[in-house]
């Protein structure tokens, strides 16, 4: 019984969502037809026309709803006060779409892109063959945004774009304390739909070891702001020091005076209080070079 009720509830919500008027429609004809709003309309009728020399038609949502009701679609609703119809530009957008794809794939090597849509901000009759595509530096943190193309004559033409994709992120499985190492015991890799992120997400725990810079709650999407590369040598801990001389390795113990990551140069102090510069080569292991 519960599942039947849940099924009908989800079906109802789906129908409601599908009967909602969008705030913007793109059309490929000189007039606006019923089928642009109701894709599966049984009969098609012209409901608006573009004004002469214009490529955008803005109408009150209530006026559109009255027209839909008149043609037998009374269930439609609108969230915005106005609805805009924009005539599609007869230009090839494949180069811009490819640039968007390459930009996101560079940021997210394992991204799975389903669709990429690009639309000019206004009607464009033609587009120069030679142009460069420019996206914001942090555009990858959101699925949608605005880009521009720069032509040879230094003109900027703006486009809106949307990327439907899934990315891999690291999500905490429990509360993590500041300074705690991230591992598969307290975090896991998860695939999510890209919507909007506050910072670049951490995507892998295998190649580089990280520790938390702050307390993280359970279920938190870990970003690069939350972590730093793990210090495999901690300040005031005892480290093994290696010194190579004439193919002979001499080793002794000393106290680390600094935290250190792999490859870092840090200071150590021997038992006789002598201080030396060393290079971190492993967990609590350093080498004099």
Can you list the alpha helix ranges (DSSP code H) found in the chain?
Answer: 2-18, 34-37, 61-70, 94-107
Do 21 and 60 contact (CB within 8 A), yes or no?
Answer: no
C-alpha neighbours within 13 Å on the C-beta side of residue 171? 10
Neighbours of 152 (CB within 10 A): 10
Q: How far apart are CA 279 and CA 264, in angstroms?
A: 6
Residues 6+ apart with CB under 8 A from 216: 172, 175, 176, 222, 226
Q: What is the predicted pLDDT for the residue at 289? A: 86
CA distances from 226 to 5, 62, 134, 173, 180 (A): 42, 47, 29, 15, 11
* From-to residues of CATH 2.30.30.760 in the chain: 238-288
Question: How high is the mean pLDDT of the chain?
Answer: 90
For the four alpha carbons of 221, 223, 226 and 229, in that order, the dihedral sign comes to positive
- In the chain, what is the straight-line distance between the N-terminal and C-terminal CA atoms, in Å? 74
Span 51-68, pLDDT tens digits: 888 889 999 999 999 999
Which of 59, 99, 101, 97 lies closest to 81, judged by CA?
A: 59
Instruction: Please give, one letter per residue, the 3-state secondary structure of 3-24.
Output: HHHHHHHHHHHHHHHHCEECCE
Do 240 and 224 contact (CB within 8 A), yes or no?
Answer: no
E strand or H helix that includes residue 241? strand 238-245
Diameter of the chain measured on Cα atoms? 95
Fold of 238-288: SH3 type barrels. (2.30.30)
How buried is residue 16: exposed, middle or buried, by Cβ count under 10 Å (0-12/13-18/19+)? Answer: exposed
The model's confidence at residue 98, banded by pLDDT at 50, 70 and 90, is: very high
Q: What is the predicted pLDDT for the residue at 230? A: 87
Q: What is the predicted pLDDT for the residue at 14? A: 44
In this structure, what are the phi and psi dihedrals at residue 16, rounded to the nearest 5 degrees?
-65, -45
Q: What is the predicted pLDDT for the residue at 12? A: 46
DSSP code for 2: H
DSSP for 75-115?
T-EESSSEEEEEEPP-S--HHHHHHHHHHHHHH-TT-EEEE
- The model carries a pTM of 0.73
Span 190-223, pLDDT tens digits: 999 999 999 999 999 888 889 999 999 999 999 9
The model's confidence at residue 125, banded by pLDDT at 50, 70 and 90, is: confident
Do 163 and 113 contact (CB within 8 A), yes or no?
Answer: yes
E strand or H helix that includes residue 157? strand 156-172
DSSP code for 35: H
| Across 92-116, average pLDDT | 97
């Amino acid at each position: 019984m519960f599942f039947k009720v849940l099924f009908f509830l989800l079906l109802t919500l789906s129908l409601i969502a599908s009967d909602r008027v969008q705030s913007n429609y793109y059309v490929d004809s000189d007039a606006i037809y019923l089928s642009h709003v109701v894709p599966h309309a049984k009969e098609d009728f012209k409901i608006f026309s573009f004004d002469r020399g214009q490529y955008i038609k803005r109408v009150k949502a209530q006026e559109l709803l009255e027209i839909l009701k008149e043609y037998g679609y009374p269930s439609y609703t609108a969230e915005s006060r106005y609805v805009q119809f924009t005539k599609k530009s007869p230009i090839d957008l494949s180069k811009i779409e490819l640039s968007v794809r390459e930009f996101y794939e560079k940021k997210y090597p394992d991204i799975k892109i389903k669709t990429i849509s690009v639309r000019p901000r206004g009607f464009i009759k033609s587009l120069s063959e030679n142009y460069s595509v420019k996206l914001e530096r942090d555009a990858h943190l959101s699925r949608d945004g605005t880009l521009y193309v720069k032509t040879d004559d230094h003109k900027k033409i703006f486009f809106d774009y949307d990327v439907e994709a899934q990315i891999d992120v690291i999500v905490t499985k429990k509360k993590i304390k500041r300074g705690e190492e991230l591992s598969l015991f307290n975090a896991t890799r998860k695939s999510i739909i890209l919507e909007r992120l506050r910072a670049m997400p951490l995507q892998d725990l295998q190649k580089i070891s990280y520790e938390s810079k702050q307390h993280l709650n359970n279920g938190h999407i870990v970003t690069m702001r939350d972590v730093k590369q793990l210090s495999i040598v901690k300040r005031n801990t005892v480290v093994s020091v290696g010194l190579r001389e004439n193919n002979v390795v001499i080793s002794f113990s000393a106290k680390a005076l600094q935290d250190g990551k792999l490859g870092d140069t840090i200071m150590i102090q021997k038992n006789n209080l002598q201080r030396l510069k060393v290079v971190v080569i492993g967990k609590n292991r350093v080498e004099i070079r």
